[in-house]
Structure 1
């Protein structure tokens, strides 16, 4: 009996030593470190990753929250590119139009996703904000020496090459968002403009969402380039013109002297003005001592000219 107990004790000690040695090879000692609860909550709140992944990251880096966050981003980026490749080709008819108007410059971007549910997600909206501002910054840096009116159209592949404020390419940001949201996301197009000092930029976004950023977002957007207008009232005039372009969807500008051709009028100036049905757009502009020079309208999910062809 004494010999049996001795063998059992020796076996237990040997096994305990093996387990301890094995754990030491993975960590710094026999005691496995657990994630600090306060750091876990903080990491979860700052990154939005699941509790399980945040816990795993903190345990991996001995509760070093900086290294844990960096590792989580790296893993999400890898997963995002993998998901992006798998989801490529899935239809993206939902999404948002992002619109930014600065000092004599503006940018309007369309970013598509699969469902309206994701379009309402804050992470997706942040992506739209980042891409819109990146398009505006690119346009300004590229056309600093231009004194006249400059308008540029960027296709999706051109947008993907731009860099965001975080130093990542738009393509990387998209992959990152796909990894977190689980839907295909597609950079559709962007329009950027810069106007001379005496010109003005009107804008309007329809179906706008609540946003604390400088970028307005919705399912429809319009930019209107115009001259003149009553002093101090150009912002109101630009808003009304943008609202009309979104609502009536003109296809061309037309001339100030053009007569309306009926209910299916597609020229802007002869159309019945949305804010004042008693006048055409041209008649309203004469009263405001203003002239529309150009306009652009985006509708989320609509076929572009290239797709229509």
Structure 2
């Protein structure tokens, strides 16, 4: 008697499972695994969090990507604030100057970290970009009805309160980046300028990095507000003036008739013009039919006298 017959005799019918059914079941399992892997890869790419944490989040919320993403962000934020509090006393003198020039407004920010290695990280550069555009947005809300020249300097306390998204402050963004990269960081200062019709904004960044953003970033930066200039050459003029300000570090504007006082000259207009030292800045501007009205220079990590920051 066959084994099947024995079980039938005992009143127990063997299930008739064919090879095709088993293969079909195996293939279905493979499709499920592939779908889950695709969700995991999607969540990992969109959030940047570890595979382990992404897998845990998907399991917790039964593969609901939106809920998993929100939970991961909340956990990272908590961890970031915890790390930020622990690292608060560590010196952060490295970092980047971020600079963006729009049509009639420009912003320059300094964001600090502990090492040059972290300054080259895309996540840190994203923080610099977010800080700059949060500042520029704030500038726009304050000067929307102001037709003239507007210049605004913001310190760390004011900057960290700015919004970078719905319900998220710049302080939250800093903490999140600290949690991700493990170094102390701070958004140190920012300047915005808005100009009326007929005025222009020149800029220059030195020590620049290859950035994944649409902003210029480096160790030094300058904004120069000017009028005039030969038609078609104004962008190049603005860059040359910014390059001079970065290289020669003037402290004040001075007057067009001021005489240079040697190597220790700290007024912009009497300084020898960096791209052409045979001319003073005032003489160069006269030849370009241009006039500098204001300038700002940032150097990453520089120290300040009391009351100048």
What is the TM-score with the length of structure 2 in the denominator? 0.86
Tell me, yes or no, if structure 1 residue 177 matches structure 2 residue 186: no
| Greater alpha carbon shift after TM alignment, 202-211 vs 293-302 | 202-211
- For residue 257 of structure 1, give the secondary structure of its aligned residue in structure 2: coil
| Of 222-231 and 55-64, the range deviating more from structure 2 | 55-64
For residues 308 and 175 of structure 2, the distance between their equivalents in structure 1, rounded to whole angstroms, comes to: 27
Tell me which residue corresponds to 2:268.
268
1:212, CA displacement in angstroms? 4.1
2:304, 2:215 → 1: CA distance? 23
Question: Structure 1 residues 202-211 or 241-250, which shifts more?
Answer: 202-211
Return the index of the structure with the highest Cα Rg: 2
Q: Distance in 2 between matches of 1:166 and 1:246?
A: 36
Q: C-alpha deviations, 1:259-292, integer Å up to 9, x for none?
A: 1111121111111111112111111000000011
Q: In structure 2, what is the equivalent of residue 190 of structure 1? A: 190
Within 2, Cα distance between the matches of 1:66 and 1:130? 23
What TM-score results when the alignment is normalised by the length of structure 1? 0.86
Q: Is the contact made by 2:97 and 2:221 (CA closer than 8 Å) also made in structure 1?
A: yes
C-alpha distance in 1 between matches for 2:211 and 2:176? 21
Distance in structure 2 (CA, Å) of the matches to 1:185 and 1:247? 27
Matched, 1:96 2:96: yes
1:147 matched residue in structure 2: 147
Give the 4+ runs in structure 1 shifted more than 6 A: none
Q: Mark the runs of 5 or more structure 2 residues left unpaired by the alignment.
A: 1-31
Where structure 1 has 5 or more consecutive residues not aligned to the other structure, the ranges are: 1-32
What secondary structure, in the 3-state scheme, does the structure 2 residue paired with 1:164 have? strand
Tell me which residue corresponds to 1:215: 215
Q: Distance in 1 between matches of 2:221 and 2:299?
A: 7
2:308 and 2:169 map into 1 onto residues whose CA distance is: 29
Mapped pair 1:201 → 2:201: yes
Aligned to 2:69: 69
Name the counterpart of 1:290.
290
Size of the aligned set, in residue pairs, is: 277
Deviation at 1:213, TM superposition (A): 2.7
2:48 is the alignment partner of 1:48: yes
Alpha-carbon RMSD = 1.7
> Do the aligned residues in 2 keep the contact of 1:130 with 1:165 (CA within 8 Å)?
no
